[in-house]
Amino acid sequence: MSVMTEAATISESTARFLQQQHQLLINGEWVDAASGKRFDVVDPANGEVIATVAEGVSEDIDRAVRAARAAFESGPWSRITASERGKLIWRLADLIEHHLDEFAEIESLDNGKPRAVAAVADVPLAVDLFRYMAGWATKIEGTTIPISVPYMPGAEFHSYTLREPVGVVGQIIPWNFPLLMAAWKLGPALAAGCTVVLKVAEETPLSGLRLGELIQEAGFPPGVVNIVTGFGETAGAPLAAHPDVDKVAFTGSTEVGKLIVKAAGDTNLKRVTLELGGKSPNVILPDADLESAIPGAASAIFFNHGQCCCAGSRLFVHRNHFDQVVEGVADAARTIKVGPGMNPATEMGPMVSKIQQERVCGYLQSGLDAGAEAVVGGHRLGDSGFFVEPTVLVNTKPEMSVIQEEIFGPVVAAVPYDDPEELVSAANDSIYGLAAAVWTRDVSQAHKLARKLQAGSVWVNCYNVFDASLPFGGYKQSGWGREMGHEALELYTQTKAVTVQL
C-alpha cells in the first residue's frame, strides 16, 4: 500500500480564513482568551500548522456561561417568537449552504477527511439538520389534561403543560465530524429556545469558528451561541462542572462521558445527554446479496477512516461465505486511495492526529501480538502525516481488545459464525450498543434480528444511513438520550404542568 502526497491548492477564501487571528465568540463578540494563550491547529495530512486558535480556560467558560445566562433570561432571545427563532435557524442553514465549498475545505484541512466527502456528506447534512430543526421551533407544544383530583370533589380545573427550554446548555463535541456534530447539538437547542456554550474539539476547532461567524451574520442575538476553543481538561471540564449550566450535551469517548456525569452529579445535577463510543456488529446472513453486502461492509468500517462512533467494526459472517466476504472486504481495502483529503482522488485521509494514529496502531499491535492476523493492512502508512492502512483482522478471540474496545480507525475484525443464536449473543457481547446492521434477503429474519440486537440504530441492507428526522443514540454504554429527530428536541425542553382552579 502507498500513500499519495499531492494536494490541491487551498482557495483564497479559505486561506484568508486560516490566517485570521481566531478568537472566542462570547456575548456576540470575538475576544481573546483571558490568558492570552493560543495553540496550534495541524493539518493531519502532513503535520503542518495551518492556524492558531485561542486557548479558552475556565475563566473564559465562566464569561461565556454568564453571557448565555443573560441572553436566556433577559436578552432579545428570551422574547422573540418561535417563528423568528425558526427563521434565524433557517437563515443559518442557507448561509452554511452558500459557503459549502469553504466548509468542505476547512473540514478537509483540519480533520483530514476527503474534501469531496465533506462536500456531499458533512456539510449538506449540517444544512439539512438546521432546516429540520428550524421547522420544529413553531411546533413545540404542550397538552391539555383532564384531571379528577379525588380529595377535591366538585372542584373544577383547567390543567395543561408547557414545554419550556431547559436553559443554558454546555455542548462538548468531538473531532470526527466537526461541523456536523456542532449542528446536531446547536440545532435542537436553538429550536427549543436554549442558549449555548459550545466547546469544539482541540484537534478540529476551525469549522466551529467559521460557523460562529455565520451565526453572527444570520443575526442571532449576542450570547445565544458562545463558542470556546480549548482543551478538554481545561475548557470542557469546567463547562461540565459549571454550576450555572442547566444541561450538558456531550459526544466523545465513553471514558470522558463518565467524567461528565460525575461533574454534573458533583455540582448542580445538570441534565446530561451523551453520545459515546461503539463497537457495532455488522451481520451478514447466509442468504445475503453479497454483491451489496461486501462493499457495504467495507464502507461501514472505512467511511471517515473508521473514525465513526457507529463504524461497523465487528463483521459477523456465516462460515459458508466467510472466506469470500473477507477476501472481498480485503480487496476493497487494497484499492482504497489513501492520501491528503485535499487531493480530489483521495478516498481515505489520515487519522485526525498523531495521538489517534498511535492509538490505532497500538490496538493493531496488541491484536497481532495476541494472535490475530491481518489479511490486509495492520500498520501505519507513509512517513509524514498520520495515515493508517485500511485493515481487515481475522483469527480474533472475543476477549481481545480489538474486539472489545473502540479502535476508532480503519480496522475491522471479521468473525465467522455457525449458529444464529450464537450470533446474537456474540453480536450483543459488548459494553456498547450504538448501531448494528443486518444483510439478508429474508424480510422476517431482518425484523427479528433488528429486535434482538441491542443497538440504538439498526440498518438492514445498508449502513450509515442518517437523516435529520431519525433519532440516533446509544443503548448500554453508548449513551443517554438521542441526537436528531423529535427526540433530540425534547431533550432540550422540560415540562411544566399548570393547574388552574376554575
Interface residues toward ligand NAP, by CB under 6 A:
172-176, 199, 201-203, 231-233, 236-237, 240, 251-253, 256, 259-260, 275-277, 309, 359, 406, 408
Residue 364 Cα to chain centre, angstroms:
24
Burial of 450 (0-12, 13-18, 19+ CB in 10 A): middle
Decide whether 288 or 455 has the Cβ nearer to ligand NAP.
455
Residue with cell 470526527: 176
Q: Count other C-beta atoms under 10 Å from residue 119's C-beta.
A: 17
Annotated active-site residue in 105, 203, 275, 389: 275
3-state secondary structure (DSSP) of residue 136: helix
Decide whether 230 or 377 has the Cβ nearer to ligand NAP.
230
What is the SS3 string spanning 306-317? HCCCCCCCEEEE
Q: Count other C-beta atoms under 10 Å from residue 150's C-beta.
A: 5
Work out how close the CB of 480 gets to ligand NAP at its nearest, in angstroms, rounded to a whole number.
13
Decide whether 271 or 318 has the Cβ nearer to ligand NAP.
271
Angle between helices 206-218 and 178-192 (to 10 degrees): 30
Work out how close the CB of 200 gets to ligand NAP at its nearest, in angstroms, rounded to a whole number.
7
Q: Is-contact 372 413, C-beta < 8 A?
A: yes
Work out how close the CB of 289 gets to ligand NAP at its nearest, in angstroms, rounded to a whole number.
30
Q: Is-contact 271 247, C-beta < 8 A?
A: yes
Catalytic: 275? yes
Decide whether 173 or 191 has the Cβ nearer to ligand NAP.
173
Q: Count other C-beta atoms under 10 Å from residue 277's C-beta.
A: 27
What is the SS3 string spanning 99-119? CHHHHHHHHHHHHCCCHHHHH
Decide whether 175 or 417 has the Cβ nearer to ligand NAP.
175
Looking at residue 337, the DSSP 8-state letter turns out to be -
Decide whether 240 or 453 has the Cβ nearer to ligand NAP.
240
Work out how close the CB of 425 gets to ligand NAP at its nearest, in angstroms, rounded to a whole number.
24
Work out how close the CB of 59 gets to ligand NAP at its nearest, in angstroms, rounded to a whole number.
16
Work out how close the CB of 309 gets to ligand NAP at its nearest, in angstroms, rounded to a whole number.
3
- How many Å apart are CA 243 and CA 467, to the nearest integer? 34
Residue with cell 480503519: 410
Query: What are phi and psi for residue 378, nearest 5 degrees?
Result: 115, -5
Annotated active-site residue in 194, 308, 309, 361: 309
**Residue type (1 letter), 434:** L
Which residue numbers are catalytic?
275, 309
